[in-house]
Each structure stands twice: as C-alpha cells, then as structure tokens.
Amino acid sequence: MTDPLITDGRTARRERNRTAVLDAVLELFGEGSINPTPDEVAARSGVSLRSVYRYFDDRESLLRSAMEHHFLRIQPLFSLEIDPLDDLDRRVSALVGQRIRLYEAASAVFRAAIARAGSHSLIDDRVRERRELLARQVQELFAPELAALGARGPEVSAMVDVVTEFESIDHLRRFRGLDVDQTVAAVGHAVQSLLRPA
C-alpha cells in the first residue's frame, strides 16, 4: 500500500517543479527571449530537461502554459471598478492607471503572446478575449460621453481603446523613452481630448 504522505510529497514536489519551470519561462520572456528553448528553461529553473518534457508535451505547450500561468496571476488587474457616472477626470485616471499597471505587470508576456498569436489559435483566442474585455471596459466606462458624441461615438471608443492598449503604451515606454508618470500624463491627455466634445 502506498503511503499517502509520500504520494502527497511527490505531488507537492511535482507542482513546485512545474511552477519553477513556468516561472523560468516568464523570466526569459522578461529578458527579451520570446521563444525560449526547453534547454534554456531547464537550465534557468534547475529542473532537468527530462522533467520539463514530463510536465509539458512540447515547447508550444510549455510556452502556452507559462502565458496562461501568468495571465491567471494578473487576472485581478483586468478588473476596473469605477462608476460610469463618476467624474470624467476620475474615470480617465482609473482607466489609464489600470492600463499602466497591466503593462508594468505583463509587458514581457504580452510581447511573447502577440508574437505567437498569429500561428497559435489558443494564444490568439486568449489575446483576442483580453482585447475584447478591455474594449468593452472603454465602452461601458465612457458610455455617457460616447452617447453624447452620436455617430462619432464608435469611432472615438475605438480610438480610446487604441490609445490605451498595450502596443501604444509599449511604444511610449520603450521607443519614446517616457517614464511611468510621463506615460500616464500623455495617455490621460489623449483620452481626455478624444472624449471631450470639439
């Protein structure tokens, strides 16, 4: 008869090792390697290559699992709790703050996910789901302003979404060299300009 303590210990060790492997992938993403090899992951995690392949069927399932692991961790950052009838300045500030926090927490994983999305339907679905969630937040959060813009409402909603999405923030941070405060100010100003009637 198998000792339950031994079985529980093995299960816990397996889960620790699996988590170490996923964290190693995320670290490599963070260092700019959007397509790390199982050998690199094994070396980084301290888990044998054989064990990496025991936990994950192939490189694709390893990378997909790491992305899902990370998105589950940051899921609370996707929530935006502010009343759509609150003051516009406060709503803009809440939205921009949320998008910057998401960027800071997940930029490396977003880059890797976007790079792989076109050729991997599961990753593509996850990226699309998150984009749709963020787009709905814009529509709901600024419903009064968008309604007041009449026929221009959908266009403005799309533009607010573009200004606040990952690629725009990434461009400001990495290529324009803006720090967090400058990015918050630039994105906030752009959103305010779009939503205020001409």
- Specify the pTM: 0.79
Give which of 21, 14, 13, 65 is closest to 42, Cα–Cα. Answer: 21
d(CA 151, CA 147): 8
Cα distances (Å, whole numbers) of residue 63 to 21, 25, 76, 105: 10, 7, 22, 18
d(CA 57, CA 164): 36
Q: Is 1 a residue whose pLDDT tops 60? A: no
Q: What is the pLDDT of residue 3?
A: 55
Q: What is the pLDDT of residue 53?
A: 87
The kind and range of the H/E element at 86 are: none
Q: What is the pLDDT of residue 198?
A: 65
For 149, the token pair is: 């813009």
Q: Mind listing the pLDDT tens digit for each residue in 103-122? A: 998 888 888 888 777 777 77
Query: Once rounded to an integer, what is the mean pLDDT over residues 80-88?
Result: 89
Q: What is the pLDDT of residue 195?
A: 93
Query: Once rounded to an integer, what is the mean pLDDT over residues 60-80?
Result: 85
d(CA 131, CA 71): 13
d(CA 127, CA 67): 10
Q: Mind listing the pLDDT tens digit for each residue in 49-64? A: 888 888 888 888 888 8
If you average pLDDT over every residue of the chain, what do you get? 87
Q: What is the pLDDT of residue 8?
A: 66
